[in-house]
Amino acid sequence: MSQEAALLSIQKLLAITASRPAVDHAVKSLIWRLSTHQHQRNDSSVYIELSIGYLQKVSMVSFGSANTAWHLVKNHIGWKSIHKNLVSNYGFSVRKLARSQKWGQHLIFDPSVYDSVVEFANWMVASDLWYPPGIAVSDGNEWRSIQVINTGSRHMARCQWHDDSNPSMIVNINDDDSDTGYGVCMACKTDSGRILSVFMRRVSGDSWEGRPSASIRFGSRTVVTTKSPKALDGIHNPLGSGSPGRVVLARLGSKGLIGSYGRNDVLSTLKWANRAGDAAEKRAWTASAKMEVSTSDIPTEFLPDRLISVSEMVASEWSSIPSGDGEIYIPKRFKPTRQKWILIDLDDFTRLSLCIHKKSIHQFIDRMVSDEPSMSGRFAIVRTSYSGVQIWLELNRYYDPSEYFNGYKNRSFLAGLGKAISSNLRSYGCEGGHVDHSAFAPGRFGRRPGWRLLSDGMPFRSSLVGYSNERK
């Protein structure tokens, strides 16, 4: 693989993992670690010894996330894993192990591929997309000096997070990397009731430094909630390799939930996405992939299917992952809080192009929402595929999503709207089609204008084909 091809493979990899924060973090950790880890090199190969367990400790994610990141990077970069007895065949020597140590995996790289990894890792740091471990953090989570005492049977240390006259922190040194480890203070209790756990790294000799692990820092802080609910942006890519399926693209920042492309209300977002066209889609892709990509270079096999939630939602459960000198709070679950828009999802129509752009269908929907007392009169029509269309209708006030959709009369009302719109489409030449009733559920997502992949693998750009005039 050439250096240019390797760089493109890494870019594609980041596009895949953009919506999987823990895996994305582990991928960047691995790329950075490969570029800085001790290695041997000759004219034909580069040799590195590394393990998934070590990656897990460096990135401070679960073993599952580290394992996924390891194999994704391997598949896209293309290193070769060999047995330690074969290392000498490539002109390299295997390190000698001290007592209780064990080898990691023995990796062989093409020199040009390895150079591309180093180049990309340096670019991540220069672009502030990755902060190598070691940068101090604030709020009492900074690295603190720790003196490790060898008592013979175990390593102990005086805890730096409380007045510790007698060593009360048990220190465990990692078998696969004697310069890293973790400490557990048996005397400390955090605000969350957990025993203090500290990630540690060796400075020199018996001198170490450590800071509380991400799980403790998260558990001992108050989770910031959003000041107001909002419609949330999502992504769905069922065909991409390693796709996580449907994911909400939102995370917690100092000002609440951020990372969503939702703008004001649903209609404003749909109009913005459609008006901006390819430029907006390129910005969305760049944000997801964390890199600059020209439109022609976008790999269609990884085109994201952009969505926006029908209900306004807030996060109901959080998780935390480390990010350089701090941590990012990732919503694990959301709950719908209020709803002013409803979605009619129509699928499997043939000859849809003959009628969807006709003025008559727009006039029909305009009359329908104008005559219905429960609606404000605002609507939007989004063409989602060659055979699908979604109709967004605004209610005249906010509703509790669960209460509204649990009502039999309301569900029947929505089904009747879908049936009326389907009949009108057929009257203008469309055939077949059905109403997807699952779109009536609270917290569902509808598609917004932008490129997506259809089930046959062909790219298609969803577009806003009609909407209501703004009423005062």
Every domain of the chain with CATH number 1.10.10 lies at 3-126
Asked if residue 193 has pLDDT above 50, the reply is: no
CA-CA-CA-CA torsion sign (89, 95, 101, 106): negative
**Residue from 383, 326, 309 nearest 352 by CA:** 383
Q: What is the mean pLDDT of residues 105-123?
A: 85
pLDDT band at 418; cut points 50, 70, 90: very high
pLDDT digits (tens, 9 = 90+) for 14-48: 766 765 667 877 888 888 888 878 889 898 999 99
pLDDT digits (tens, 9 = 90+) for 141-191: 567 889 998 877 788 998 887 778 888 888 888 766 677 777 888 777 654
pLDDT band at 55; cut points 50, 70, 90: confident
3-126: what fold?
Arc Repressor Mutant, subunit A (1.10.10)
Rounded Cα gap, residues 44 and 416, in angstroms: 69
- Provide the pLDDT for residue 150: 85
pLDDT digits (tens, 9 = 90+) for 68-84: 889 888 888 888 899 98
Cα–Cα–Cα angle for 148, 154, 159, nearest 5°? 40
Q: What is the pTM of this model?
A: 0.49
Cα–Cα–Cα angle for 317, 322, 325, nearest 5°? 130
- Provide the pLDDT for residue 191: 44
Rounded Cα gap, residues 314 and 335, in angstroms: 6
Helix ranges, 37-170 (H): 52-59, 63-77, 111-126
Which of 65-74, 128-137, 413-422, 441-450 is most confident?
A: 413-422
